[in-house]
């Protein structure tokens, strides 16, 4: 795999942005291997993802961000992020007692599907330690009291671990605790949750039971970035499965678990591949 740079940007739409950025890359001996862009005509905003090979590129990677900031960010009122494909993201997984999403994430990781490192798994229960041990990943447990009197202390310990392990994003694989503002602020749009319903329908606990009681004909799963508003962050991925009157709450749960694994893995893939831009509590997903 050749080293590449990945530039994600958004700014007010104006003429010549694509030309300017592509010329900058080609003039410095860069070979563009990916380009996708989108214009939100309602808000007048421009979004782009561009990736180019670094072999032979004239500007050193450690100076590249400064060049982009100086040449384009101020001029176009541009917000941007720069990544390199040979710098692996470091993903922490938070779990509680349900194993299906955790198994799926770890299996994909071990199969080499993702260019990522998993330095730790964090939980509020001992139940899934055996899963972590099967995959050789350190497992940390901080139990939270029923009255939540130690929650601030627990999250401080978790944040110290995340900092020590240089974690760049977090995946909540059916982690049944509400994330605090402090942790969300430390990882803005870098905490991915899986919710077991097709949001915004059936928010909160036991959505499959809610769906069964309502008699719906499809159930879904939603993966989104975590924000301070519960289950209301920018949506990354969704999917649905058809159901019938013959289904029970228990069969809906089984169907839903398969869907949760797929939807969460798709969201994680898009995040790892740097194909997501967030804007106004929505996501732009590049192909």
Same domain, 241 and 267: yes
Same domain, 196 and 279: yes
Please report the pLDDT score of residue 203 as a whole number: 62
HEC string of the chain equals CCCEEEEEEEEECCCCHHHHHHHHHHHCCCEEEEEEEEEECCCCEEEEEEEEECCCCCCCHHHHHHHHHHHHHHHHCCEEEEEECCCCCEEEEEECCCCHHHHHHHHHHHCCCCCCEEEEEEECCCCCHHHHHHHCCCEEECCCCCCCCCHHHHHHHHHHHHHHCCCCEEEECCCCCCCCHHHHHHCCCCEEEEECCCCCCCCCCCHHHHHHHHCCCEEEEEEEECCCCCCCCCEEEEEEEECCCCCCHHHHHHHHHHHHHHHHHHHHHHHHCCCEEEECCEEEECC
Which of 37, 68, 84 terminates a domain? The answer is 84
CA distance 56 to 63: 15
Same domain, 94 and 80: no
Bridge pairing between strands 191-195 and 169-172: parallel
Among 147-151, 188-192, 203-207, 216-220, the range scoring the smallest mean pLDDT is 203-207
Please report the pLDDT score of residue 89 as a whole number: 98
Provide the whole-model pTM.
Answer: 0.91
Provide CB contacts within 8 A for 185, sequence distance 6+: none
Please report the pLDDT score of residue 265 as a whole number: 98
Cα Rg for the chain, rounded, in angstroms?
21
C-alpha closest to that of 91 among 237, 264, 284 = 264
CATH number (domain holding residue 243): 3.40.50.170
Same domain, 154 and 258: yes
Please report the pLDDT score of residue 170 as a whole number: 99
pLDDT in tens, 79-126: 999 999 999 999 999 999 999 999 999 999 999 999 999 999 999 999
Please say if the pLDDT value at position 199 is more than 60. no
Question: How many CB atoms neighbour CB 60 within 10 A?
Answer: 9
Please report the pLDDT score of residue 212 as a whole number: 67
Same domain, 100 and 74: no
In the chain, the number of structural domains is 2
| Active-site amino acid positions | 231
Same domain, 72 and 185: no
CATH number (domain holding residue 64): 3.30.70.260
Same domain, 136 and 270: yes
Domain region containing 233:
90-285
Which of 36, 52, 84 terminates a domain? The answer is 84
pLDDT level of residue 198 (50, 70, 90 thresholds)? low
First vs last C-alpha separation in the chain: 20
Please report the pLDDT score of residue 202 as a whole number: 60
pLDDT level of residue 205 (50, 70, 90 thresholds)? low
Please say if the pLDDT value at position 200 is more than 60. no
Please say if the pLDDT value at position 208 is more than 70. no
Same domain, 184 and 265: yes
Please report the pLDDT score of residue 249 as a whole number: 80
């Amino acid at each position: 795999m050749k080293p590449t740079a990945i530039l994600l940007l958004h700014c007010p739409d104006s003429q010549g942005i694509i030309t300017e950025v592509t010329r900058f890359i080609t003039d410095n001996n860069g070979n563009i291997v990916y380009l996708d862009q989108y214009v939100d005509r309602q808000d007048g905003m421009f979004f782009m993802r561009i990736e180019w090979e670094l072999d032979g590129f004239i500007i050193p990677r450690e100076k590249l961000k400064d060049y982009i900031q100086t040449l384009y960010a101020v001029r176009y009122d541009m917000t941007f992020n720069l990544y390199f494909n040979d710098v692996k993201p470091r993903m922490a997984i938070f779990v509680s007692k349900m194993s299906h999403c955790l198994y799926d994430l770890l299996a994909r990781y071990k199969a080499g599907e993702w260019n990522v490192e998993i330095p730790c798994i964090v939980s509020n229960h001992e139940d899934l330690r055996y899963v972590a041990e099967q995959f050789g990943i350190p497992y940390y447990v901080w139990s939270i009291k029923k009255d939540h009197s130690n929650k601030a202390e627990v999250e401080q310990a978790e944040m110290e671990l995340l900092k020590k392990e240089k974690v760049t994003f977090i995946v909540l694989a059916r982690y049944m605790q509400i994330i605090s503002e402090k942790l969300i602020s430390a990882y803005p749009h870098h905490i991915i949750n899986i919710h077991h319903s097709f949001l915004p329908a059936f928010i909160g606990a036991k959505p499959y039971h809610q769906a069964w009681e309502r008699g719906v004909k499809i159930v879904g799963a939603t993966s989104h970035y975590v924000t301070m508003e519960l289950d209301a962050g920018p949506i990354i991925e969704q999917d649905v499965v058809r159901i019938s009157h013959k289904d029970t709450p228990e069969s809906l749960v089984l169907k839903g678990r398969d869907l949760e694994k797929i939807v969460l893995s798709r969201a994680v893939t898009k995040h790892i591949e740097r194909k997501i831009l967030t804007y106004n509590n929505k996501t732009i997903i590049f192909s």
